[in-house]
Amino acid sequence: MKRILLALAPLALSLLIPVQPVAAAPQAKVTQLTTEPLPEYPGKEVEMIVVDYPPGSVDPIHRHDAHAFVYVIDGSIVMGLNGGKTVTLHAGDTFHEGPEDVHTVGRNASSTKPAKFVVFLIKNKGAPVLTPVK
């Protein structure tokens, strides 16, 4: 009986230690700037958005079903497509995602500084900006 109590004592004591919940990564803020039809390309439109990444922000895996052209305005971001090699982009850098690409990595490169970038999407008229991928 003493052996059992001695074996269970550390477990019982560990239950008294407060546990801090793990905070979720901060969400990106997406601001739509404009959407314009492309009459020369029936059924297509261009949408321009600004994405603000707080420090430590991480995107879920998604796709755009569009051509997405990224221009980094401030800070640094990490991008990766289709499970391949990631690239770190800094202010002034550009990045392209095709309509078949799955955006497997998208995050702020910094846990202390924000990042901001503009995205131009050429997509089907009325289609969502992004589609989550499981």
Q: Domain boundaries in the chain?
A: 22-132
Confidence band for 134, pLDDT divided at 50, 70 and 90: confident
Q: Say whether pTM exceeds 0.75.
A: yes
Contact 88, 77 (CB under 8 A): yes
Q: What is the spatial distance between Cα 37 and Cα 72, in angstroms, rounded to a whole number?
A: 24
131: Cβ–Cβ under 8 A, 6 or more apart, which residues?
A: 62, 63, 64, 65
Give the mean pLDDT of 58-63. Answer: 94
| Residue located via tokens 């289609």 | 127
CATH homologous superfamily of 22-132:
Jelly Rolls (2.60.120.10)
